[in-house]
């Protein structure tokens, strides 16, 4: 593979460009260590060594640093490495590394994002915000269901306490009255049944 250009970049780095259109960043001393020069050939073995021994450890360290500062999605991490000039294969492997230790979890991120935004944004705006962060539509819907269902059931349980509902002594009419009250407040029938059933089981 021919090296077509070695151009200066920020922070003392050089961008090594190859004839296939790909490129990767190295520090000046690393360019010297591997004796890389524009117009010369680089063996596939040397290229793999640079990716494995130089770029991958650096990409992993970069992601760990980013995640220490704030939670991010897989898409955001890959995009950050891409902007830093890392090859796609290196970025994918680095993201897989942090994902294997659960340092990054798109579902966890989505649930946290929804919880922090649900008081001020509509569900559609929340969906749009998560899509911009690279979360899949399937995960978004799962997270929305999880967060809103949990919130809904917690509210139902609090209202049952406020209404002094006792599942052990409540007869059919009392249960129907409570059910209609909760349904009238906009709670889903499934959530009402789950909470009332759970409270009944807890009394056994």
Query: Do 143 and 158 fall within a single domain?
Result: no
Instruction: Kindly state the tokens that stand for 54.
Output: 């130089």
Tell me the average pLDDT across 58-73. Answer: 95
Query: Do 161 and 135 fall within a single domain?
Result: no
Query: Do 177 and 139 fall within a single domain?
Result: no
If you average pLDDT over every residue of the chain, what do you get? 90
Query: Do 91 and 138 fall within a single domain?
Result: no
The per-residue pLDDT for range 105-163, each reduced to its tens digit, is 999 999 999 988 877 888 788 999 999 999 999 999 999 988 887 777 888 888 888 88
Query: Do 37 and 58 fall within a single domain?
Result: no
CB 27 within 8 A of CB 14: yes
Question: Which domain, by its residues, includes 172?
Answer: 152-203
Cα torsion at 140, 146, 150, 156 (round to 10°)? Answer: 90
- Does the reported pTM lie above 0.75? no
């Amino acid at each position: 593979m021919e090296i077509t250009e070695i151009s200066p970049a920020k922070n003392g780095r050089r961008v090594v460009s190859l004839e296939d259109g790909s490129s990767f960043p190295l520090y000046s001393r690393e360019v010297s260590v591997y004796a890389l020069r524009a117009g010369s050939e680089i063996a596939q073995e040397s290229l793999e060594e640079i990716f494995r021994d130089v770029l991958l450890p650096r990409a992993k360290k970069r992601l760990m640093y980013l995640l220490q500062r704030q939670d991010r999605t897989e898409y955001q991490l890959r995009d950050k490495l891409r902007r830093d000039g890392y090859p796609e294969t290196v970025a994918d492997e680095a993201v897989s590394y942090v994902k294997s230790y659960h340092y990054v979890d798109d579902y966890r991120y989505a649930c946290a994002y929804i919880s922090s935004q649900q008081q001020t944004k509509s569900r559609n705006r929340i969906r749009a915000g998560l899509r911009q962060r690279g979360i899949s539509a399937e995960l978004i819907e799962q997270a929305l269901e999880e967060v809103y269902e949990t919130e809904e059931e917690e509210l139902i349980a609090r209202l049952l306490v406020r209404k002094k509902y006792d599942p052990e002594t409540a007869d059919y009419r009392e249960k129907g009255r409570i059910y209609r009250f909760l349904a009238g407040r906009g709670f889903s029938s499934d959530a009402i049944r789950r909470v009332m059933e759970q409270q009944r089981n807890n009394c056994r």
